[in-house]
Amino acid sequence: MYLKSLVLRGFKSFASATTLHFEPGITCVVGPNGSGKSNVVDALSWVMGEQGAKSLRGGKMEDVIFAGTSGRAPLGRAEVELTIDNADGALPIDYTEVTIKRTMFRNGGSDYQINGENARLLDVQELLSDSGIGREMHVIVGQGQLDSILQATPEGRRGFVEEAAGVLKHRKRREKAARK
Ligand code: ATP
Ligand code: MG
């Protein structure tokens, strides 16, 4: 399973439809400051169901919709489509390719589709939940976070690994219980 492509329409700075194709393995997105690299990462989280405006570097959810520039009027909706190669059947669905689409209008909530069929957020979450990329399963290391990881003490670094592995909360609980 790997991410195959991402289409952005009206998402943040991507006013015109923009398609990114990915290959298996490591993908690098390069570009000048402010060109939209982090917006691509935000689009990935968003289409997988991210519900927090802060995690998307905005104040409110509708900040993901293209807000306009001096030469271009704001748009009324944002759309992102993520296509995942499922030839190995890692996702529990009978398709070798799965496209998840999320749409949001300025005046309303989000709509989801899975391979063209209307779906709920829960369906998207369930589809991804055992795949290693679902909610809280993928790890996005934000800009600036890298510095704190590189400069961390050995204990701090262990915390990052434990958090990524999902065991930090158990250790915290155990330590709390031991203090009582
Ligand atoms: P850097 O190298 O500095 O990290 P970057 O390539 O990661 O830059 P982004 O943060 O992805 O850049 O993009 C920032 C740009 O996106 C800004 O110019 C900002 O105005 C624009 N932007 C963000 N949200 C919207 C929006 N809703 N509508 C229009 N433009 C937006
Ligand atoms: Mg950035």
* Chain segment 65-117, per-residue pLDDT in tens: 999 999 999 999 999 999 999 999 989 899 999 999 999 999 888 999 999 99
Average pLDDT over every residue of 37-52: 94
Average pLDDT over every residue of 116-141: 82
- Alpha helices (H) along the chain: 37-47, 121-129, 145-150, 154-165, 168-179
- Does the Cβ of 67 fall within 6 Å of ligand 1? yes
The residue ranking higher by pLDDT, 129 or 12, is: 12
- Does the Cβ of 53 fall within 6 Å of ligand 1? no
Enter the pTM of the model.
Answer: 0.83
- Does the Cβ of 103 fall within 6 Å of ligand 1? no
CA separation for the pair 75, 11 (Å, rounded): 9
Q: Is the pLDDT of residue 129 over 60?
A: yes
Binding site annotation covers 101?
Answer: no
| CB atoms inside a 10 Å sphere around CB 8 | 27
The beta strands (E) that lie in 22-166 are given as: 77-85, 97-105, 110-114, 117-119
Q: Is the pLDDT of residue 145 over 80?
A: no
Q: What is the pLDDT of residue 136?
A: 60
Q: What is the pLDDT of residue 134?
A: 64
Q: Is the pLDDT of residue 55 over 90?
A: no
Q: What is the pLDDT of residue 163?
A: 73
Q: What is the pLDDT of residue 73?
A: 97
Range from 24-28, 147-151, 168-172 carrying the lowest mean pLDDT: 168-172
Indicate if ipTM > 0.95: yes
Binding site annotation covers 118?
Answer: no
Band of pLDDT at residue 170, cut at 50, 70 and 90: confident
Band of pLDDT at residue 158, cut at 50, 70 and 90: confident
Determine the residue of 6, 13, 30, 79 to mutate for testing ligand 1's pocket, defined as the one with the most ligand atoms within 8 A of the Cβ atom. Answer: 13
* CB-proximal residues (5 Å) to ion ligand 2: 37-38, 143
CA–CA distances in Å: residue 62 to residues 32, 56, 113, 148: 25, 10, 19, 30
Q: What is the pLDDT of residue 166?
A: 66
